[in-house]
Structure 1
Amino acid sequence: MLTTFQHLSPSELSRLAQLVQKIVQAINPDKIICYGSRITTMQDWSPFMERDGYKETIHPTYDFLLITNNDEKRADHEIIQAIEQVTTPTGCAVTIIVQQLASVNEALEKGARFVTAVYSKGVLVYNGTGLPLAIPQVELDMSIIRNKVEAYWDKCFSQAQRFFKTASYCFENEWYEQATFDLHQSVQHTCMALLRAFTGHRSTTHNLSRLLELIGNFSYEPIVVFPCITKEETDLFNLLNRAYSEARYNEQYVVPAGKATILIERVKQLLAIAEQLYQERLLTLQNDQPVSFPLISTHAQA
């Protein structure tokens, strides 16, 4: 694991250190590994602003693998909520993946793609007990990784497409609440397929906001489909995100026809983006595969 950041400024490092300290005080984890960071800078100018009329706002996002002690009793979502409560006031956004120490070590010993990559290229920003992590013993062949990626994509993304077809059928019959539930499932399975293809991480959350935030580690394109930069856009996304539970259990949950129409188009757009990203990912895996000799003919012998 790395212990330094090459791309962060001294002020950014100081802010990151304060962020990590708040997480440690709230959770008391065993280790925290940073496996991604993004810094969005907003520059505003107006003659009606104070001083010189220029304002620059920095919004950093950090991706953490938070490793808990083996005796941790809290559920993952409880830990994530506790972290968000202390980090939101700092102006920093965080995405958290929670795993117990024993689970991480077992995954490392098996050469699991996500934790192995985080171990090899991530930055250890907190080491509580000092207990060492297992050293990855197995390095999967690139062809094996590609086969695994293709197999999971075929299964999970096909489910996403089927949910979309079902949603379209329900929409045509004006069953808008049922259609929105199926759209939720289509988005969830699309996000799960992307995460597995790019990172190897297997997510089981139904929270679309969290899934899209995790995808932000390697692509902004899916997030742009649901921008949430206005109240109207936020309400639209929340209508979709709540559908998993409320479309089934809340009799007051109603989806207007106009909202359903927009959501159908948005999810269709997301599916197209996901397919394109996947094809690019396959090409990358193919290019990363080493060439070995002698070459073997792919043509059948006469």
Structure 2
Amino acid sequence: MEKQHINLSTLQCREMEKIITSLIEKYKTEYIICFGCLNDAKTATSCFIEDVKQSNTHYFLLMITTDITRIEHEVQDYVNNFFEKATITIVVHGMETVTNAIAQGSRFFTAVCRDGMQLYSANGLRLNIDYPNLNPATTFSKAQKHYYHRFGMALGFLESAGVCYDNGFYSNCMFELHQAVVNNEIANIIHKSRSNAITLKEFCGLPIVGVKTGFNEGFITDLAPGPFIKSYVFGRDIKKYQPIKPNNNIIFSYDNEFKIVLVETEKEIYSVLNTHKQKLSNRAIVKEGLKNGTKCWYEYQQVNKSLNYDDEYIVYPNVSLGNNFTLTTGAVIDMTAFLIKSNSRYLLAILNSKLIAFLMDIWSISRRGGYLEYKVQYVEKIPIKNISFDEQQTFIKIVDQILEAKKQDRDTTTFEQQIDALVYQLYELTPAEIAIVENSANAKANAPEVHLQDSFE
């Protein structure tokens, strides 16, 4: 098929200027590309009035953002209300999503980014991506397989939506229409996981990001742990159920109330800090605080003061290959990891289960090699069955066995399988639904291993 490039007239470009300006002011926009434009012109003729000419233009836009949060519905609602002179359909995705899709052979994103008309770029440059050569036969085969898999199921939901509409059940109608375009089996798993459950946020609060020093080299030390020296945990140090064995210690110059401690009397600690004083003093936030007397030159850029680092918490890496939740006590967590203010063994079992790994694979942003971004907005909505403490005991006993076995480097496969079986039963999955989750886990396990460095490290 011959490539068709999008071109807009001068008048159409002027028409788009207002909406583009508004979008880049409201959202973190990298690029806006027009990939379609429909012009509908009509003339009304009557013997009573002069001829009336009417025209309407429908623009199709791709907006690429720096934000990974999914905001396509919000943006579409915004342009619908803001811009009345023309119709706009806007697709919104993060930059990483677009580049990954193109690398995987997406015909849609390849055509839009390569042949569309770029209306805006934050850096003033043309979007520069290596576009693969698309194989029409492969594209057709994928589309055909997808069509036959989805059509019958979608038709059933569509018919159900019609019945709901005819009987005035409009909310149910909307739900059925949504299900018509979602894989039925996966939709059932998601629905069951949320049924009679609460979110992780409701269970124990939002996850908390680790500390941000602004210059790790100025604080990491070979000095032994003590009153102002703690173990320092990076995201890469955190593995599923594993006892954390950090390779670093860090100067932590705070008291129990998170007030900065004057460490000048601690000669060895002060010597480490003083070596990097200039760089530590020039860190963002700290530099401004020194000017107005609100900061000390060796305090962290960011530290959550609601925590007691001597307590036991659940922690996990911000970028992870599968679920890697475990417990830690007495360590400072780097910003490449998150902390959950709970040490519930029951919660730990749920978080490390194959079912939650399956859901996170649906919700999270993926990165190279199968890694996922475990951002707060994804983790906070993990569904937790809020059962009684007595009902949690079976989970708790098995998790304690796993934790003890991990300390001795013993295999825990059988224990983890028992946890998965309990989770399937708790969330009421059918054998067919369990097979979907297990197949997904097996596919992940057999994928080639790729190592990623911690984000922001």
TM-score, normalized by length of structure 2?
Answer: 0.34
1:80 corresponding residue in structure 2: 76
Matches within 5 A, 1:1-302: 6=7, 8-49=8-49, 53-70=50-67, 73=69, 75-88=71-84, 91-130=85-124, 133=127, 135-164=129-158, 166=160, 176-177=167-168, 181=172, 185=176, 189=180
Summarize the Cα distance change of 1:157–1:134 in structure 2 as closer, same or farther, 3 Å threshold: farther
Q: Is the 8 A contact 2:110 2:131 kept in 1?
A: no
Residue 59 of structure 1 deviates from its aligned partner by 0.7
Q: Per-residue displacement from partner, 1:27-86 (whole Å, max 9, x unpaired)? A: 35111000000011121223443xxx111121111000001113x657322222223232
Q: Distance in 1 between matches of 2:176 and 2:43?
A: 37
Say how many residue pairs are matched.
Answer: 180
CA contact (8 A) 2:36 2:60 kept: yes
Partner-residue secondary structure (3-state), 2:83 = helix
**Which amino acid in the other structure matches residue 62 of structure 1?**
Y
CA gap 1:127/1:28 in 2 versus in 1, 3 angstroms? same
Q: Which moved more, 1:139-148 or 1:16-25?
A: 16-25
For 1:16 and 1:40, locate their aligned partners in 2 and report how far apart those are by CA, in whole Å: 17
Q: Flag the structure with more relative contact order, 1 or 2, with Cα contacts below 8 A and sequence separation at least 6.
A: 1
Secondary structure of the residue that 2:29 maps to in structure 1? coil
Stretches of structure 2 that go unaligned for 5 or more consecutive residues are: 184-457
Aligned-partner Cα distance in 2 for 1:48–1:135? 57
CA distance in 2, matches of 1:97, 1:167: 25
Change (3 A) 1:110 1:75: same
The one-letter amino acid of 2:105's match is G
Q: Which amino acid aligns with 2:20?
A: V
Letter in 2 for 1:69: T
Secondary structure in structure 2 of the residue aligned to 1:120: helix
Q: Is the 8 A contact 2:60 2:88 kept in 1?
A: yes
Counterpart code for 2:83: T
Distance in structure 2 (CA, Å) of the matches to 1:83 and 1:165: 31
Please give the per-residue CA displacement for 1:141-167, whole angstroms capped at 9, x wherever unaligned: 111111111111112211122224556
Q: 8 Å contact 2:32–2:118 — kept in the other structure? A: yes
What is the CA–CA distance in structure 2 between the aligned matches of 1:175 and 1:36, rounded to whole Å? 35
Maintained 8 Å contact 1:160/1:189: yes
SS at match of 1:30: strand
CA RMSD of aligned residues (A): 3.4
The structure where helix makes up a greater share of residues is 1
Change (3 A) 1:152 1:111: same
Identity %: 22
Unaligned runs of 5+ in 1: 194-302
Is the 1:116–1:136 contact (alpha carbons within 8 Å) kept by the matching residues of 2?
A: no
Based on CA coordinates, which of the two structures has the bigger radius of gyration? 2
| Residue 97 (structure 1) shift | 0.5
Distance in 2, matches of 1:115 and 1:34, equals 12
**C-alpha distance 177-84 of structure 1, shift in aligned 2 (>3 A):** closer
**Whole-Å Cα distance in 2 between the matches of residues 140 and 25 of structure 1?**
36
